[in-house]
A and B are shown apart, each in its own frame.
Chain A
């Protein structure tokens, strides 16, 4: 196979694996901080138990994010040496600031957050936890700034084929950055919301409910119910921004081959890249124009205007639909679940809803990865939109070496992914430590299924 395609597959594999874990840690950092805060405020052991459980999930996710992130920083050089040669004057400092201001901050305080609770004052421990949460978000800020700059470059000039920064403010706050940052942060919030409610639902189903399970379920459902409409709004604004700056990406997402007025919103179709048309198309007339132009007769530019410079259609077309479909499911489950759970007095949900929420545990991952595929494949054939083609910056490594390392990464990542999900499932099903029940007055005994979780001070044991 073409080493160029292999290099892209390898990078895509790595970045796909990587993004799963920051997507969890960005929001989970704030969620565990909230749990810690609730515990400090109310003194309810259940919040401490929730903090301890979710801190373990955070630690596990963080570790996998770190190791795959280290890999990614090397792959910039091993796979795309030309990227740094040509765009390094801009990409370099943004990455540098990420490492200096965010990565070190997270990693530096993580030790205190995870293991330092009995060694520092509660106040300092709270500050360390807040610092880690802040660090993960700041990290997202820099990385998404760079990513957005690659989509909508600004504040640069090209001298002798090399990009130079002329206005750092314009580089960092490039046109698509605010939208992409908001979209990603909300995606992270939703991923965590469904992980919280999904694991809680699983615990209820399996009869291993703990003192904190209902609180966490309520927290997850509320978070999801609040964030999903915001995400739909942010996604719409992001789409309009993309239409303005990367119209070819929109045309591919919507499967619009020829410029047309009153374009339909396709619910399903099989795009045919050779014939440049859609088969089996089912759509709602004029809706795409209405959504994108806020005018039912609005003109949308088709792929025919971007001959040779537009992304492949199929991955964008389907990726977009997977993302939106997940969003619709999330809306249904978050609002329906919240309403039913509230009506039960925050006590329980029908089994079918518990199964549904359990199946939705990792729905955030699916939506996130689908969305990233849309935006990143949608940048092709460019690495920096309109300025630098991916082909131009690729390394010339022997195909066999790239293929062998690709196989190595794929094996390890698959194994780790299975181990990650299995470990989380195991942790969720494990009954809390043998500590005697110590329940607050407002803490109903959950069906005798569980002990109170007043686990001593240990936040993570190596037992």
Chain B
């Protein structure tokens, strides 16, 4: 079924489109920002105990603010698309609960592992790594379910499980990239090893998405293989493949421990950004693929206009002080002396 042809692309006001873009950007920022700190959380599971404090310290000043992008993204879904949020969130009820439990556990563990009884520290460490893993897997599962329009077939579920692993691998690679930037010595060398190990899983995941998405969805298929579309789309996967190849190459170079320590993280951000645009291109203008367009789901114009004023005024300020905070804490993390 090609529902796309039946949906007029220009419909109603431009406000819902703006809010869709804002929601998308929030989600992308969330995936990159909380992605690296969830990734570091995942990697603490395989790290020696002596390194864990430093790993946690490397994300300590940032994780609260990073998680706020998720609140903004889900907030924008609730606010701007009230007629889609019920469909999306009730269809994703179970993974949402699991993700939230994961986020609660790891967020609490940050503090408790330092402030609680030292005898319980290893339990909090387990909650930290386990919560990170649970949140990452649940987010990937949700993404997979969302892309297939909550299709209940076995194929769609296998696909969602694949995305869950792929996104988790992406986070782990981002986290390793973050550790390359923020740490030095033994831990930094260990991060290179982790990055090398997880790299094939990221590749496998992205291949899975690229092959399975058009198979599962007619809309995506039409989008990708239409004649003008395919030319417009081609640079996205090509650049992503090049970025991932460059990343793997870098991991063999000693410069990744020195001058180029930022590069793997940056390349991973490029890959995620490209995937995001690819995904947006495939889904637009749907909020729920093949079912609800963003105009059908949108809130009243007067409400969106009122909120847009606030968003336009505050988002630049938020970005400015977020960048400022990263500047304050730039450089290698100092062991324990935070």
Q: Does the CB pair B299–A88 fall under 8 Å?
A: yes
Q: Does the CB pair A108–B65 fall under 8 Å?
A: yes
Stretch at the interface among A90-98, A239-247, A432-440: A90-98
B303 CB contact (under 8 Å) in A62, A89, A408: A89
Mask of B274-304 contacts with A, CB within 8 angstroms, 1/0: 0000000000000000000000000110110
Most A CB within 10 A of own CB, among B61, B115, B300? B115
Q: Does the CB pair A462–B79 fall under 8 Å?
A: no
Whole-angstrom CA separation of A355 from B314 in the bound complex: 48
A84 CB contact (under 8 Å) in B86, B307, B322: B86
Query: How distant is A422 from chain B, measured CB to nearest CB, in Å?
Result: 7
Which residues of A (180-229) have their CB < 8 Å from a CB of B? none
Chain B residues with Cβ below 8 Å from A70 are 67, 70-71, 100, 103
Chain A residues with Cβ below 8 Å from B17 are none
Q: Please tell me the number of chain B residues within 8 Å of chain A, measured between CB atoms.
A: 66
Most B CB within 10 A of own CB, among A63, A92, A100, A461? A92
Q: Does the CB pair A89–B299 fall under 8 Å?
A: yes
Whole-angstrom CA separation of A247 from B317 in the bound complex: 44
Q: Does the CB pair B86–A395 fall under 8 Å?
A: yes
* Any A CB within 8 A of the CB of B88: yes
Residue ID in chain A nearest B323 by CB atoms: A108
* Any B CB within 8 A of the CB of A390: no
Whole-angstrom CA separation of A168 from B77 in the bound complex: 21
| A-B Cβ contacts below 8 A, count | 223
Q: Does the CB pair B96–A423 fall under 8 Å?
A: no
A99 CB contact (under 8 Å) in B72, B104, B115, B328: B72
* Any A CB within 8 A of the CB of B215: no
Whole-angstrom CA separation of A426 from B114 in the bound complex: 12
Q: Does the CB pair B104–A68 fall under 8 Å?
A: yes
Q: Does the CB pair A89–B328 fall under 8 Å?
A: no
Query: How distant is B131 from chain A, measured CB to nearest CB, in Å?
Result: 10
Query: How distant is A162 from chain B, measured CB to nearest CB, in Å?
Result: 8
Q: Does the CB pair A426–B57 fall under 8 Å?
A: no
Stretch at the interface among A38-46, A75-83, A333-341, A442-450: A75-83
The contact sample of 29 A-B pairs, CB cut-off 8 A, is: A71-B100, A74-B96, A76-B78, A77-B85, A84-B86, A85-B82, A90-B303, A92-B79, A92-B80, A97-B307, A97-B310, A100-B314, A100-B315, A103-B68, A104-B322, A105-B318, A110-B65, A112-B325, A165-B302, A168-B306, A395-B86, A396-B90, A409-B101, A412-B105, A419-B116, A423-B111, A426-B115, A462-B338, A463-B336
5 additional A-B pairs beyond A60-B111, A95-B75, beta carbons within 8 Å, are A70-B103, A99-B72, A405-B93, A459-B338, A462-B57
